[in-house]
Structure 1
Amino acid sequence: MKYNFETCISRKGKGSYKWDEMSQQNPNLPDDVSPLSVADMEFSVAPEILDGLKQRLEDNPILGYEVPTNDYYDAVIGWMKKIHNWQIKKEWIVPNGSVVPALVTSIKAFTKPEDSILIMTPVYYPFYDVINYTHRKIITSPLKFNGEKYTIDFTDLAAKASDINVKMLILCSPHNPVGRVWTKEELKKIANICLTNKVLVLSDEIHSDLLMPGSIHTPYATISENAADNSVICTAPSKTFNTAGMQAANIIIKNPYLRNLFEDQQRRKGDSGMPVNLMGLQTVQLAYSKGEPWYHEMLKVIDSNRQYLEDYIGNNIPEIKVLPMEGTYLQWWDCTGLGFSDYQTLNKFMKQKAFLFFDDGYMFGEAGSQFERINIACPQATLQKAMERLTKAVKKLRN
């Protein structure tokens, strides 16, 4: 293997959000405990990106105002074409500092206060936050769960979308936290429902590069010309290349009318629109133009970690069910078999008995209250130590 995905790097006391949060919750943890929560990786960034950033500072030691170059746009266009077979144009790309603020900008640009916005739950918790923050009404269409897999309840989705007050669907594709990669047929059904009811689709595709073997991501805007004209697609290299701290995303909007509304809202003083800083611009360009070899190796490591946990939990802790992870690097565990009466008790068990710091399922909606979301983008040795602690804690629980 060309790259190092095996070294465990401690970020304790170095400003990492999830590491500091873990230490605050339990200051007396052993040194070999790593958090498996917030969605950034415990892998060093690709050397091609790090070397390129260093070279940029050496070649031009001025940190002033900068705008995207043609090389930047070419890198984004090239990545979408090669990885997703999606041919986009330069004018469709609106650089932005981060996907979540772009969701706020979109909601403000395309809906009015008191309008309703659909989400399919359980879902990425900032979706709730951005809707509440902008004073819109949350309408939930719960995913169907048969104990093995999540699917979309199209009957419920169509009924909710038919409400005249529903103006937007925020789609999570691939879905965080349940790990589904929506099929082209599923996306077509979503498109038909939303086009019929004049509901705009805001598609968060930040995890679209992170696919397990056998899964194919279909960009929502490739479903049809009508779907492309009725959608705003949010992308970023941050999850793929572990560069979230660089604050760089690309919002892809084919429809010029929608794009103008978005850009106008983004320019307004006091709005949440975030410009991409100059090192963020460099990071996007380097990631998409030079990071592909690292990317492919990283996916193999994630897949190996996925298989390891599925096998280990299945063989040693049958009380927990690991749901299939088709995409993302976030595994979704059904912990109802542990027998806890509420999420607080499950939370306490994981953190205080097993020293495991996950993202607790209740954060993603009521349906996730007996679930845990596990970030598996880390050296496998980290997961092995975590499983040793979990096994000991579960054995004590059984007794």
Structure 2
Amino acid sequence: MKNTRFDFESVIERKGTNSLKWDLFGDDVPMWVADMDFKVAPAIQEAIQKRVSHPIYGYTIVPDELFESYISWWDRRYGFKMSKENMLYSTGVMPSISSMIRCLTDEGDEILIQSPVYHVFFYVIEDNNRKVVENQLIYENDEYKIDFDDLDEKLSEVKLMILCNPQNPVGRIWSKEDLAKIGKLCRKHDVVLISDEIHCDLTDPDVKYNPFETSSDYNNVITCLSPSKSFNIAGFQSSIVHTRNEELLDMIKTQMHVDNSDSCNVFATSAVIAAYDESEEWLEELKEVLYENKSIVREYLANELPIIKLVECDATYLLWLDCSALGVASNVLSGFLRENQGLFLSSGSDFGQCGDSFLRMNIACPQKLLKEGLARLKAGVTALNIINKGLY
């Protein structure tokens, strides 16, 4: 790895810290949930330490400076111009989406998602007593694209669509043309669109994502944004909701207040402001590290484990691995890797049944851990092959 200003090589011991990733199941190499095993940006740690030095941690308000940090970040990096009047603070993207489901739809209504997609989308819809409608992405020539004919048909059945941009788990950045077409179809069928853009900063170097609101003139759209993935600060539980539609904004504001999802963690504002105002250089270096990690995985699979194919992507630190040649259900494969190798990769079926031939791998870790994970993946697949008597 080339010389870097920041430390992306140290392996930090996380067991015993109540880490969801490392402590919940106790796997040797957990590469599942979307958080990173890198040290946080120094400016963020310093900002938190400064706030900790004040000995009172009472209720807190959201300062204008936090909204200004969001506004400046999206304007200078993506040309997405927001105003404080169109923004709401929230404890997280998924709490926001849950609130929006409750205020924009009724029990029994159908909500559209594009699978394979973030598994919590399924849960939040079903747990709110709504029904999932899937517009399955087309996997063709080793890449994913939107089935617009199917989308057109199914939008006629729903009140709400949840978009993932960039798409988790396939890592696809949707083009301006794709987003404009989605907006046109939502307008045609009078469907409200929620755009979850939480992974937007985590693109390949010199690649930028396209915010929905700069790609379409559709007005019934709500964008969810957060620094939690980009800067690995999900534990502070902080995000914002943005919409230029005043009617939608008022409805969401009321529902979030009822759900108590609009309160602020005493440390969150310090972390967010330090991330957006002082940690841009750290993020750019992180993107280089992730790109190199992806290259390592690509080369390793090609040379050591060609039966598994990397689905090429341009965003997120989550790789989508095509394991179809193994002929094993993804939950069986994931379970075998955990039991046999202590390696935890996410089962593709978690993201919709159309993902059943895939595994999701989190590569946001030092290269030592990444290479250990790859070695265990190969050993696990080899062991499974032996057990199945070389059937593939």
CA–CA distance in 2 between the matches of 1:162 and 1:345?
A: 36
TM normalised by structure 1 equals: 0.93
TM-score, normalised to structure 2, is: 0.94
Secondary structure of the residue that 1:238 maps to in structure 2?
Answer: coil
Which of 280, 286, 289 is residue 268 of structure 2 equivalent to?
A: 280
Partner of 2:29: helix, strand, or coil? coil
Residues in 2 aligned to 1:41 and 1:6: alpha-carbon distance in whole angstroms? 12
Q: In structure 1, what is the Cα distance between the partners aligned to 2:192 and 2:92? A: 20
Whole-angstrom CA distance in 1 between matches of 2:298 and 2:61: 45
Q: Give 1:299's aligned residue.
A: 287
Range 73-82 or range 242-251, more displaced: 73-82
1:3 match: 6
Asked whether the equivalents of residues 337 and 343 of structure 2 are also in contact (C-alpha less than 8 Å), the reply is yes
Select the residue among 38, 48, 64 that pairs with 1:70. Answer: 64
**Which one of 39, 54, 60 corresponds to residue 34 of structure 2?**
39
Q: Which residue of 1 aligns with 2:79?
A: 85
Aligned residue among 11, 14, 17 for 1:14: 17
Structure 2 partner of 1:61: 55
Runs of 4+ in 1 over 6 A off after TM superposition: none
Number of aligned residue pairs:
383
State yes or no: 1:199 paired with 2:191: yes
Query: Partner amino acid for 2:163?
Result: L
Q: Deviations over 1:44-98 (max 9, x none)?
A: 111101101111233x432122212122121111111122111111111111001
**Alignment correspondent of 2:389:** none
What's 2:220 paired with?
230
In structure 1, runs of 5+ residues without a counterpart are 27-32
What's the CA shift string for 1:198-251, capped at 9, x where partnerless? 0010010000111114643111111233x2x21010010000000000010011
Return the match for 1:360 from 347, 350, 360: 347
The structural deviation recorded for 1:272 is 5.9
SS of the counterpart of 1:22? coil
Q: 2:179 matched to which residue of 1?
A: 187
In structure 1, how many angstroms separate the alpha carbons of the residues matched to 2:362 and 2:300? 16
**Inter-partner Cα distance in structure 2 for 1:395 and 1:365:** 27
**Which deviations, in whole Å up to 9, do the C-alpha atoms of 1:98-122 show, x marking residues without a partner?**
1111001111121122221101111
The residue type equivalent to 1:35 in the other structure is P
Whole-Å separation in 1 of the counterparts to 2:381 and 2:122:
33
Query: For structure 1, which segment, 244-253 or 66-75, has the greater mean C-alpha deviation from structure 2 after superposition?
Result: 66-75
Tell me the distance in 2 between the aligned counterparts of 1:203 and 1:50: 30
Equivalence map 1:346-385=2 (5 Å)? 346-385=333-372
**Who is 2:130 aligned against?**
136
Contact 2:225 2:240 in 1 (8 A): yes
Q: Which residue identity does 2:118 align to in structure 1?
A: Y
Structure 2 residue 378 is the aligned partner of structure 1 residue 391? yes
Counterpart of 2:226, as a letter, is: A
Contact 1:104 1:272 in 2 (8 A): no
